[in-house]
Amino acid sequence: MKNKSDAEKHICPVCCRTDISVFIDIARLPVHCSMLWPTQDGAVKAPRGDIRLAHCRFCGHIFNLAFDPGLMKYDQDYENSLHFSPRFQEYAGSLAGRLIDRYDLHDMDILEIGCGKGDFLRLLCELGGNRGVGFDPSYDRDRTGGPVPEGLTFVQDFYSDRYADCKADLICCRHVLEHIQYPRDFLTGLRGAIGGRLGIKVFFEVPNALFTLKDLSIWDLIYEHCSYFTEPSLAYLFTSCGFRILDISESFEGQFLCIEAGPVTMVDGATDYGDYRRRISRYAGAFSARYRSRVEAWKNEIGRIGRAEKRLVIWGGGSKGVTFLNTLGVKDESRYVVDINPHKHGKYIPGTGQEIVPPEFLSEYKPEIIVVMNPVYIDEICRAVRGTNVDAGVVPV
């Protein structure tokens, strides 16, 4: 990836305007939240980076001025699959079914950019009888323990223009765009690869920055995300890069933004989001004080639990858990993090070094307080806790 010059850093990566304002600085968070660390010592010494969030007043985009792409690494040690959660499986299945029904995806070709371990692409192909090609440097050929199903191909590489000739009726890209330093270049390149194939549909899913700002989901702020899309900035990006928006909506209880689009020959770029952008400006302006207050409240709560000598565990070894533990500087107060993903068990949290353990570990450890990092999973987590016969208070962040 290219490095930004100082001048480029102060240009919005979506609309290329310079009307931006910095609204919060967060120092020394782990560069990777989804890297698996096999030793506690390695985890504690994990590389760190700074976050300096800026808000574009023109398009409503939010991005990290301090982002350094040279720190990033995506390989087979990168583990961020959510598909071990029944709640997320339900969401992914519903999403795949909706796309299949809406665009009549049967006996079609699906291309997924950033397919991870291939879970969602498999769903699209199995449910619709489709063929699929997935691109991701973190794809693990040995993950499934068996042969790849017929009609599915996985390429252990970043998608680029060298793959422009791949057949596709639907191009899918979920939770990738926020990792790309120059989203305009990426989307313009994708539009160029599509060329005259105007029947192709594209589906992108990204974290919803409005949810972070308005609902104070501060544990979603991670170094890996150089961009935080709002509905206006996502819409502007697509319409100005040669796409017509077919649908744009929030999903997963407001945590995600989804956009469906198709290629057009005339570039527009016009979007009517004046009131929305003004709301984003207000939320961004108030965010720093609200952020500090939230962090201080949780530091006090963790301190209170520690002084009471109560056993505390965190549930969620993904990005939210990593940010929570590192922002608060939690170490001895909580020695373990529970996660349902078996590929994380026995690994360690970057920065603070907690061991990641399976839910069954609770029966042995018998915590008194469990802090749940994503409230959307609270029901399934409460069921899992009851299954361990542990009498603990379950507290969502």
* Structural contact between residues 374 and 320, judged by C-beta atoms closer than 8 angstroms: yes
Q: 């409005």: which residue's tokens?
A: 210
* Structural contact between residues 351 and 317, judged by C-beta atoms closer than 8 angstroms: no
Per-domain residue ranges of the chain:
281-396
The tokens of 121 are what? 């692409």
C-alpha to C-alpha distance for 122 and 131, rounded to whole angstroms: 9
Q: Which residues contact 75 (CB under 8 A, 6 or more apart)?
A: 137, 138
The tokens of 269 are what? 């770029």
The tokens of 112 are what? 């997924």
The pLDDT, as a whole number, for residue 125 is: 98
With cut-offs at 50, 70 and 90, classify the pLDDT of residue 221.
Answer: very high
The tokens of 245 are what? 């928006």
Q: 């995806």: which residue's tokens?
A: 105
The pLDDT, as a whole number, for residue 141 is: 79
Between helices 86-103 and 378-387, what is the axis angle to 10°?
Answer: 140
With cut-offs at 50, 70 and 90, classify the pLDDT of residue 1.
Answer: very low
With cut-offs at 50, 70 and 90, classify the pLDDT of residue 85.
Answer: very high
The pLDDT, as a whole number, for residue 144 is: 64
The tokens of 185 are what? 């270049």
Q: Where are the alpha helices (DSSP H) in the chain?
A: 6-9, 40-44, 86-103, 119-128, 183-194, 209-214, 231-240, 274-307, 319-328, 361-365, 378-387
Please state the rounded mean pLDDT for residues 335-344.
97
Residue 77 confidence (pLDDT) above 90: no
What are the C-alpha distances in Å from 244 to residues 67, 73, 100, 105, 188? 30, 33, 19, 20, 13
- Bridge-partner residues for 21, per DSSP? 55
The pLDDT, as a whole number, for residue 5 is: 54
Q: Which residues contact 266 (CB under 8 A, 6 or more apart)?
A: none
Bridge-based pairing of strands 393-396 and 20-30 is unpaired
For Cα atoms 357, 77, 362, give the angle at the middle one, nearest 5 degrees: 5
Residue 323 confidence (pLDDT) above 60: yes
Q: Which residues contact 200 (CB under 8 A, 6 or more apart)?
A: 168, 169, 170, 171, 194, 262, 263
Which of 159, 153, 216, 212 lies closest to 190, judged by CA?
159
The pLDDT, as a whole number, for residue 374 is: 98
What's the CATH number of domain 281-396, 3.30.450.40, 3.10.450.50, 2.40.110.10, 3.40.50.720? 3.40.50.720
What are the C-alpha distances in Å from 71 to residues 35, 47, 48, 50, 271? 13, 8, 9, 11, 34
With cut-offs at 50, 70 and 90, classify the pLDDT of residue 145.
Answer: low
What are the C-alpha distances in Å from 178 to residues 33, 144, 174, 233? 14, 27, 9, 12
Q: Which residues contact 331 (CB under 8 A, 6 or more apart)?
A: 352, 353
Q: Mean pLDDT in the chain?
A: 94
Please state the rounded mean pLDDT for residues 241-262.
98
C-alpha to C-alpha distance for 57 and 356, rounded to whole angstroms: 41
Bridge-based pairing of strands 227-228 and 355-357 is unpaired
